[in-house]
Homo-oligomer: A and B are copies of this chain.
Amino acid sequence: MPPVILINGEAADSVPALDRGLQFGDGVFRTIAVSAGRPLNWVNQHARLASDCNALGLACPESELLAAEIATVAPNAATVKIILTRGPAGRGYGIPAEARATRMVAAFDAPEYDAKLAVEGVRVRLCTLRLAVQPRLAGVKSLNRLENVLARSEWRDRTIHEGLLCDGEGRAIEGTMSNIFVVHKGHLVTPRLDRCGVAGAQRDRVRQLAASLDEECEEVDLGIEEIMKADEVFLTNSLIRLWPVREIDGRAFKPGPVARVIREAILAQEARDVLVA
């Protein structure tokens, strides 16, 4: 059995109680699909990790080091979560000069999603919770994720697959665990994430693939009423890849051609990622 968790490169299953990741959520993370020991969409994943570290003033480990640790904990297919924190320190918000980051690379079983969801689409509800506006943390996948926890606890119905989150002014931002794309008046768009929300690495990839298919995807302000009038709506993250939406709060949508083409492009790229040694 390979170690399931590496902490600063050593097999471990615990972190110091005084780690600032626990004390304040002072850190960032990424969730990564792994196939044959290779992290998928890794260039985008590492770029986002580096950008998030920069937002908090953390040093980001080199791509090669992290990829090697991923291969160690997940030699086969799995989900890997990377957490980078400010490390252990004394009490108080001030960042001590001697703070040494904690690097955690942990393997989990890949989630078993029903394959039909990717074809027939998923059911979505509108969450009551409104995302708070904090430009300093917008887009960053930080360890401050209580909004997502509270939003995800709004429903227990297992036939609802995701909750859609708006900001206080009714702009659609993201799902609790995914980013959202919309085909609106013939154009593929996705919400701007400069005031709140988390910018997924899969979102980056979808925008790149769309551009390569001559379907430039703009970032826009998108009211929930515009989403309700959309031709297609789909959700993305690194584990689901892409799910078309078939319903939001009773309004039906048809899984459409843009979602299908982009999903196929994601799967083709993942197959190439694994083949290229």
Residues of A within 8 A of B (CB): 5, 7, 12-26, 29, 31, 56-57, 79, 81, 83, 85-86, 90-95, 104, 106, 108, 111, 129, 132-134, 136-137, 142-153, 168, 176-177, 196
Contact = CB atoms under 8 A, between A and B. Distances in A.
A219 B132 CA distance: 22
B146 A26 contact: yes
20 contacts: A7-B17, A22-B85, A22-B143, A23-B83, A23-B143, A24-B148, A25-B25, A25-B143, A25-B144, A26-B146, A56-B146, A57-B153, A86-B149, A92-B111, A93-B149, A93-B152, A93-B176, A94-B152, A95-B153, A136-B150
What's the number of copies of this chain in the assembled complex? 2
B150 A146 contact: no
Most buried by B among A81, A132, A136: A132
A92 B239 CA distance: 11
B144 A146 contact: yes
